[in-house]
Amino acid sequence: MYDLFKGDTPQSKQTRIFAIRRRLLLIIILFGMLSLVLRAINLQVVNKEFLQAQGAKRYLSKVPVSSYRGKIFDRHGEIMAISTPVLSIWVNPKKLDRNQSQQIEQMIDVLDLPEAKIKLLTDKQPKLHFSYLKRRISPELASKVKKLNIKGVHFDREFKRFYPAGVMSAHLIGFTNVDDIGQEGIERAYEEHLKGKAGLKWIIRDGRRRIIEDFENVEESIPGKDLTLSIDRRIQYLAFRELQHAFIKHRAKSASLVVLDAKTGDVLAAATQPAFNPNSRKNLKTGVYRNRAITDVFEPGSTMKPFVIAAALDGNYISEDSKVRTNGSYKIGINRVRDGHNYGVLSLTNVLKKSSNVAASKIALLMPDDYLWRVYKRLGFGDSANISFPGEAHGKLLPLMKWNDFAQATLSFGYGVSASTLQLARAYTVLADDGILHSVSLLKRDVDNNPQRIFKADVAKKVREMLEHVVKPGGTARRASVAGYRVAGKTGTVKKAEKGGYSKKDYSAVFVGVAPASNPRFVIAVMIDEPKGKYYGGLVAAPVFSKVMAGALRVYGIEPDIAVPQ
């Protein structure tokens, strides 16, 4: 091997070794510096955006910003539903300081946490990074927990829905869930209109992932739109109060009531029993939530008789002076229609006043089946009222192909057809507004843009005059009278269908009426399902109508149309 130092003196040899070492060290230093420069270029130029993004993830987070849900008003601007800002409490079990056992115990007591949440807080090896402890709590409750200053417990702002009208409009307005999504009623029907759009914002977290600052709004939240209903909160209260009283008094299975504006078809009230509180729904069964006035159907019984007489008069199958012989029963093929008494020969007015099934059957059979079927169909029976309410009933009308003489007879006094309380009230607008059937609406409007003429005006007026006698002495609904006002209406006492036929002990008590009869302003339909003891429509449903109608006329300042006895 060649010796680099051959011929060198010891001193020069050592000098040359030092020189080589210096050069080698210099090369290493220069190589190191070059590596650092290249690394810096790589970090600050080539991979700049990627690394900045990765760094930002360590301290920047994008979180949603709750949007404000639209308010719901009654027709006069009274609030029926409103959202208020509240706090929700959540915990990161992995970051929870379990040395603060005393404070944790206090928090458990304050929030009244369930067993599953308590276990999450006491588990020494938790698997979760996030869990809500309590959502949408009151400010007072949140303040108590904040004062405990527990590490790992955090607070988020959300909105809680509040219903100032409470139980009296619960079935109509409905409610939202913990995520502010409509679950029932108007809240569900108009979810897209009310909900708004959540925003986004950047927040800065510290090394322990705690929020230390709101950094920047990325996308502003868009509040939901407000909604104005056709409901009059004052009338809704009257309807709820009187219906609840009757429901309790008669120990009924359920009850419903609808109030319509006779001139526009606007729904002024829709009450249901049994009731619930939308602001506190603990331990309630799902079936309690539905609005029976809109979703449940029943056979309307004798409340259909005015339409049969109106149809016969309008089609010239009978005249105002027509008489009907009843004899107490009427045989149709192998079947027989019966009255409670033998009423003998009845005028059309007395057919309604005495509520004769036999007379109604004979009048119905004077008309072609397709003609009467079309009248029922045009009145809305068998079709939805189209008010965009969840679970809205269509009802049922026997198909024309299945009609026979006996079916046509029973349909004349309200069997073989079913309708909701809302549909029945709507049908009576044809008698209240001189032959014009109104569409119905849960949203406030000035006029009905879709009215339909069903009967001639003079026919509707004449039948309305006949119905006034139902409320007078000798009629089936004396208890529906309202002092100072002419009232027109009809009772229905309906046997409930059951397997194999009709029940002998369960009934629906029904009354539908209008007032003032000289120029009707309101239509009210009342249905009490399975009352105990008394079950006649004139004894059970008619008094509810009277009280609600009297209150509505007074609230709206409607002038009396008869003199009040002194």
Comparing C-alpha atoms, which of 352, 543, 493 is closest to residue 431?
352
SS3 of residue 384 by DSSP:
coil
Q: What is the DSSP letter of 266?
A: B
SS3 of residue 247 by DSSP:
helix
* Close Cβ partners of 330 (under 8 Å, ≥ 6 residues apart): 336, 337, 338, 358, 361, 362, 409
Residue type, 53: A
Comparing C-alpha atoms, which of 306, 341, 324, 316 is closest to residue 462?
306
- Of 169, 230, 254, 302, the active-site residue reads 302
Is 503 one of the annotated active-site residues of the chain? no
> For residues 538 and 509, what is the distance between their CA atoms, to the nearest angstrom?
8
Rounded to 5 degrees, what angle do the CA atoms 545, 548, 553 make?
A: 115
Structure tokens at 4: 């680099």
Structure tokens at 435: 């032959």
Q: Which residues pair with 83 in a beta bridge?
A: 161
Q: What is the DSSP letter of 104?
A: H
The beta strands (E) that lie in 206-277 are given as 211-219, 227-228, 254-261, 267-273
For tokens 């309200």, the residue is 414
SS3 of residue 308 by DSSP:
helix
> For residues 225 and 122, what is the distance between their CA atoms, to the nearest angstrom?
44
For tokens 């079990």, the residue is 93
Q: What is the DSSP string of 504-560?
A: EEEEEEEEEEEESTTS--EEEEEEEES-SS---HHHHTHHHHHHHHHHHHHHTTPPP
For tokens 């829905």, the residue is 161
Known catalytic residues?
302
